[in-house]
Amino acid sequence: MKKNSYMALYLALLMVIALVGCSAGAPNGTSDKSSSTTSDQPILQESAEWFKEQTTYYEIISSEVCGDQIVFLTGTKSPGTDGYQNLQAFVVKQTDGDYEVAAMKDGERGVSAGFSAHVLATDALTIVFGDTSDS
């Protein structure tokens, strides 16, 4: 019986070593190149100005150029509060010199402590966004 438990422990250790070895050489999917390069800055600035002209309800938290589309993460606040009540993700694209919203997802904050996540999927992008809350 003792021999079987030693053998099981030995096999478990071998499996852990094999898994660590296999994952050590695997690419992690990240790039050293930032997707928001200096050449993207004029596009981000121009599209952000366009977005702000459309509505003052949403506050832009962050923006990112993804291929030929721009992604905005926005938030809305209740009057008199500092925190965001809702988060939204917008995918904006430029066609014939004009910008248009191609997709939008509204995500409400979690009602309990923890993490809430929302997904906006298009043909070209999958955007996961969310927040953490204390209560």
pLDDT in tens, 109-118: 666 667 888 8
Q: What is the pLDDT of residue 26?
A: 42
Q: Is the pTM of this model over 0.85?
A: no
pLDDT of residue 131: 82
Model pLDDT for residues 2-45, shown as the tens digit of each residue: 565 656 665 565 565 655 544 444 444 444 444 456 678 888 99
Percent of the chain with pLDDT over 90: 33
Domain segments of the chain as ranges: 41-133
* DSSP codes, the chain: -HHHHHHHHHHHHHHHHHHHHHHHTS--S--SS-SS-GGGHHHHHHHHHHHHHH-SSSEEEEEEEETTEEEEEEEEE-TT-SSEEEEEEEEEEEETTEEEEEEEEEEEPPSSSEEEEEEEE-SS-EEEEEEEE--
